[in-house]
Structure 1
Amino acid sequence: MAAEPPFARWAARLEDHLDHLLPPADAAPQRLHAAMRHAVLGGGKRMRALLVHAAGALLGADEKRLDIPAAAVELIHAYSLVHDDLPAMDDDDLRRGKPTVHVAFDEATAILAGDALQTLAFDHLATADAPAQLRVDWLATLARASGADGMCGGQALDIDATGTRQSLDALQRMHALKTGALIRAAVRMGALAGDADDAALARLDTFAAALGLAFQVRDDILDIEASSEQLGKTAGKDVAQAKSTYPALLGMDGAKAKLDELAAIMRDALAPCDERADALRALGELAIHRSH
């Protein structure tokens, strides 16, 4: 019987690492630092950070070294959520089962907290105890994933499309940027820590691209089928905002069939790998079957 993936241990390492990396809440400016900690600590699936560790584990990377990109990816993800929840964006008041940052503090503090989390992520990579070329590769990977050709571009496309009916191709492109880019970056950064060759990077990118899309398809399904209590965020927002979703374009059965298709792509991408890929396989299954 295969061993259970060490997700709880990796998540605990991440929480400890982030706790030490973030500014103390009682240090000036206290309100900003408290908001940063509110956004990052004590919640969330930690999917992207776990992907860093899982990809690194496949290639034998050192866990302590993987803590660095895992924390950086999580900081970027947290910053994106803080800004996405703002009234000018998705206008939400619940995240990870607690008030969003602009509700718990105020809009100006939320904007500054997001900005500070983003810059902290890049500072952490730039000054890490790791070879110079690896740090450059990490920085370039994360910068591309979070910029106009990645997460920010996807969010812009999402805003532009609100209230309109998108084609399936347009929807998939939007989510490949908004959700998928950071997931692909997480896998790549973990693999780079293990000195992955081009063939391994290409195979893992295929896996990560399918996982990122599966994550979003499942998100769209849960927005309809799950409650706010289950999700830890407001359910039914997509329908209320007249957004195009996979269930809206494909029907619920079609969206679930799309998940099956993506699961097969992930399995095929990892088929040449041994049991060291089991953690990645488990995260792929989690993306498909998660309930929140």
Structure 2
Amino acid sequence: MHSAPWWQKTLAWAVAGLVTLVCLYPYYWMLVSAFRTSQAILASPLRPWPETLSLDVLREIASVGGTPLWRYALNSLLITSASTVLGVLVTALGAYALVRRPSFWVFRLLRAGFMVTIMYPYMLLVIPVYIVMFKMGLLGSYTGIILFLALGPIQFFLFEQFFQTIPKSVMEAAVIDGATEAQILFSIVLPMAMPVVATATIITFLLNWAQWLPVMVVSRSPDTYTLPVALMNLNGELGVNFQGIMAMSVLITIPVTLFFLIAQRRVMSGMTAGAVKG
């Protein structure tokens, strides 16, 4: 095959560079605004550089609502990590059970339940979840928040699609050799599904890191608030602290952005792992 002319390659790179700049501009504007006062942002919102490079805003957001910033960061890390591990494990177990016994009505009902959760946003689940957490005595606890965030319909279907590509003869041979279902899952199936496991873990972590509504619904005090909730609390009765919001947004987005950039190849390979049966 003949390679494309140089001008086509140049044009393609130019278009790609322009699209990249357009996509990166909001992040750049957010970073610049973190160094500008609220008055300066309102007076000249499109200014491409800050008036000063003062870091005084970090002292302003060091404590939000009387709770130190490190407590929000620790809660985010703890809740996101625990809900990610639990969510990936539960969805993998559910998908494996459905693939192994697709005709069992309980498993089919489970699949329908995951499908419904995709159709309905979190906002419609606020009252039912609040009532359930209240009845179980989990309001205001880390456990309640983690259980709520562990729900992962997208991850469930990722596992289901990949498990369906594994030849049934592999599992049947393990059964003949005397392996239990748990041994088949953890010793045979999941090692084969490591790209999907990694993808589900990354997706779950990124989604749960940004969640604020489930945390506010289940929490009873700032002791269990996360960074996104602290960001919401910067909107006070006395006005909106634009500079503080921009600085907090930078602190929230930079870690997960770097995490995704490092792991994006794994995400792409995992998303396509179960796309083709063979």
Q: Which has the bigger relative contact order, CA under 8 A and spacing at least 6?
A: 2
The TM-score with structure 2 as length reference comes to 0.30
Query: Which TM-score applies when normalising by structure 1?
Result: 0.29
